[in-house]
Structure 1
Amino acid sequence: MIPTYQELMTPVLKKAANGEVKLSKVVDEVSSDLNLTEEELTEMLPSRKQTVIANRIGWAKTYLSKAGLIEVTKRGYFKITKLGEDALSSGQEINNKYLQQFDDFNAFQGQTSADTEVDTALPKEDEHVTPDEALRAAYQKINDSLSTDLLNRVRTVTPQFFENLLVELLVEMGYGGSEDGAAHALGKTGDNGVDGVINQDPLGVDQIYIQAKRYASGNNIGAGDIRDFFGALNLKKASKGIFITTSDFTPSAIQTAKDLGTRIVLINGKELSKLMLRYNVGCRDIETLHLKRVDEDFFDN
């Protein structure tokens, strides 16, 4: 298991005990010392821009720096301070609790040693995750809740509204060319077991056939529905189909779709709401948070 950023504070500080060190080298050495598995070493943040272990070591270094236990000497380098040497000599576990004895660290956390009042209305910070991880976890929690709300709303709309919603979603995903073209295609409902057809090219040479079911939760699509759709696709001599439902698919329906020769993509209610979130259909941005960092190139130049 990858250690938390607090568990990495002591290993990071020890690497600086003998003088100036380079952060990237510390990441490599600490990772090696921990005997992490290949999977743990390569596990990425959701942004795919940094490994989890490098991110946590980076935050351990940041917290040590804010408390005054290390000093940043130049871009990507740092060294231990007298406070850091004292911390290692004490033999105490170095974590947030230990760092709270330093005023600079308390100021960094938005509090002072004299300010002991706790706002019980605010959730307590999880001390085992980095601010990056806490932010992403909160973002995911908000989106999960919104996804559920979206799906519940979709299940209550009229059939015509549901059709228009799918048209807009498919157009945003790059199918159908335009809403007018897609609308005409989806408007031909009940055509031998097919609810609509989407053109993948302007001439309609390559087409995807659609089956859509606006069902309540628990009213799941069975294998028979998939076979019926497969039969309809055969009548159209179609090679691709998308089956969309606001409920879910039974295990036998999923297996049937895999076994059939024609490629049939299944989109259940959960996946539908995720796609709506991703392509901003039925939802909109209300706030944008910009995460920034020091522009080292600016100062180097």
Structure 2
Amino acid sequence: MPVPDYQSIMYPLLELFRDGNEHTLQEAYIYLADYFDLTTEDKEEVLPSGKQLVYHNRIGWARTYLKKAGLIKSVKKATFVITDRGQKLLEDPGATELNQNYLMKYEEFKEFKNKKQNKNNTVLEEYDKSDLTPQEMLDYGYKEIQQQISDELLERVKGCTPEFFEKLVVELLVTMGYGGSIEDAGKAIGKSGDEGIDGIIKEDVLGLDMIYVQAKRWENVIGRPEIQKFAGSLEGQRASKGVFITTSEFTQGAKEYVNLIQKKIILINGNDLAAYMFKYNVGVSKIAEYILKKVDIDYFQE
């Protein structure tokens, strides 16, 4: 049979984890190829980019959606285990197949889907795909992939060691054009002892202005008192500008406070951090590149 769509893969993929043991993506590839009786030709079909197998790609998306719905969880690289919620779903005789509409019953999945909205606040699934142009479908697909990768990036950042977090922040800031060299920024930024790092980096190569950086790998929301403390620290750090990075979020009070003071402070939450990593190619690698072209009307002017 042809390779099934990713929604058809979700339930049998969840069944693989029924035994409660850890299972890898490689195991899933073998199990589902047998489950759907895929031929060698089916398994060798690749995406138009030629960079990935179709059935690997669809299994990957099925896994992502099960994970976002809290039905499975990651235990280590490319290794997953079923959750209590997932076991409960498998015990429900009325739930024999899964799709996005079913997963919307879970708040975590609903929140994940609501992130992928366009400027008109409408998600792609609400459109009839036949109403979309090929370019619109490509744009929406790219946004969905970007969101999925950003979510995975943030999850991995939260699970990394303090030493790796320090290295990541230094590399990102330098890639964005701050801090001078990796060596300079690495010397300027160090561990603060509270699951965070801080230091002063150059705003430009010449060091004409300095930026005080503080980054906290926290789960707790950062409130106004923490930002007030940070603003006060700028005075003693010879810096008029500051960047506060967190893997969590800032309260509304914290966001309002930075707009009330003269000091220039930029707040970067976990989602922003992952988005910058995606944009500046830190922690990600390129698997395909598409260049859209149009007919050059001027060329044909005689």
Short-chain TM bin: 0.5 to 0.7
> Aligned partner of 1:174: which letter?
G
SS at match of 2:200: strand
**Alignment partner, residue 119 of structure 1:** none
The Cα offsets for residues 196-225 of structure 1, whole Å up to 9 and x where unpaired, read as 111124453410001110012xx1001110
Q: Name the CA distance, whole Å, in 2 between partners of 1:214 and 1:167.
A: 14
Q: Name the CA distance, whole Å, in 2 between partners of 1:215 and 1:286.
A: 31
Contact kept, 8 Å, 1:151 with 1:270, in 2: the verdict is yes
Q: Name the CA distance, whole Å, in 2 between partners of 1:136 and 1:203.
A: 39
Q: Name the CA distance, whole Å, in 2 between partners of 1:197 and 1:276.
A: 21
Gaps of 5+ in 1: 1-123
Of 168, 177, 181, which aligns to 1:178?
181
Q: Name the CA distance, whole Å, in 2 between partners of 1:194 and 1:127.
A: 50
SS at match of 1:187: strand
- Range 133-142 or range 227-236, more displaced: 227-236
Q: Name the CA distance, whole Å, in 1 between partners of 2:197 and 2:146.
A: 32
Deviation at 1:257, TM superposition (A): 1.7
**Alignment partner, residue 268 of structure 1:** 269
Q: Name the CA distance, whole Å, in 1 between partners of 2:204 and 2:133.
A: 46
Deviation at 1:237, TM superposition (A): 4.1
TM-score (norm 1): 0.54
Q: Name the CA distance, whole Å, in 2 between partners of 1:257 and 1:194.
A: 20
Aligned length: 174
Contact kept, 8 Å, 2:166 with 2:191, in 1: the verdict is no
Instruction: Give the share of equivalent positions with the same residue, in percent.
Output: 48
Contact kept, 8 Å, 1:194 with 1:232, in 2: the verdict is no
**Alignment partner, residue 158 of structure 2:** 155
> Aligned partner of 1:164: which letter?
K
Q: 1:128 to 1:196 in 2, by over 3 A?
A: same
**Alignment partner, residue 60 of structure 1:** none
Does residue 251 of the first structure (1) align with residue 263 of the second (2)? no
TM-score (norm 2): 0.54
SS at match of 1:197: strand
Q: Name the CA distance, whole Å, in 1 between partners of 2:129 and 2:153.
A: 29
**Alignment partner, residue 285 of structure 2:** 284
Q: Pairwise mapping of residues 39-188 of structure 1 onto structure 2 (< 5 A)?
A: 126-187=129-190
Deviation at 1:297, TM superposition (A): 5.0
Deviation at 1:292, TM superposition (A): 2.6
Deviation at 1:298, TM superposition (A): 5.2
> Aligned partner of 1:225: which letter?
E
Q: 1:194 to 1:207 in 2, by over 3 A?
A: farther
Deviation at 1:148, TM superposition (A): 0.4
> Aligned partner of 1:196: which letter?
G
The Cα offsets for residues 3-24 of structure 1, whole Å up to 9 and x where unpaired, read as xxxxxxxxxxxxxxxxxxxxxx
Contact kept, 8 Å, 2:209 with 2:239, in 1: the verdict is no
> Aligned partner of 1:183: which letter?
G
Gaps of 5+ in 2: 1-126
Q: Name the CA distance, whole Å, in 1 between partners of 2:298 and 2:260.
A: 55
Q: Name the CA distance, whole Å, in 1 between partners of 2:191 and 2:147.
A: 34
Q: Name the CA distance, whole Å, in 2 between partners of 1:201 and 1:280.
A: 20
The Cα offsets for residues 82-107 of structure 1, whole Å up to 9 and x where unpaired, read as xxxxxxxxxxxxxxxxxxxxxxxxxx
> Aligned partner of 1:264: which letter?
I
Contact kept, 8 Å, 2:178 with 2:205, in 1: the verdict is no
> Aligned partner of 1:258: which letter?
N
Contact kept, 8 Å, 1:194 with 1:229, in 2: the verdict is no
Which of these two proteins has the greater Rg computed from alpha carbons?
A: 1
Contact kept, 8 Å, 1:194 with 1:209, in 2: the verdict is no
Q: Name the CA distance, whole Å, in 1 between partners of 2:178 and 2:148.
A: 28
The Cα offsets for residues 93-152 of structure 1, whole Å up to 9 and x where unpaired, read as xxxxxxxxxxxxxxxxxxxxxxxxxxxxxxx97012211111100100110111101000
SS at match of 1:195: strand
> Aligned partner of 1:254: which letter?
K
Of 212, 217, 220, which aligns to 1:214?
217
The Cα offsets for residues 66-93 of structure 1, whole Å up to 9 and x where unpaired, read as xxxxxxxxxxxxxxxxxxxxxxxxxxxx
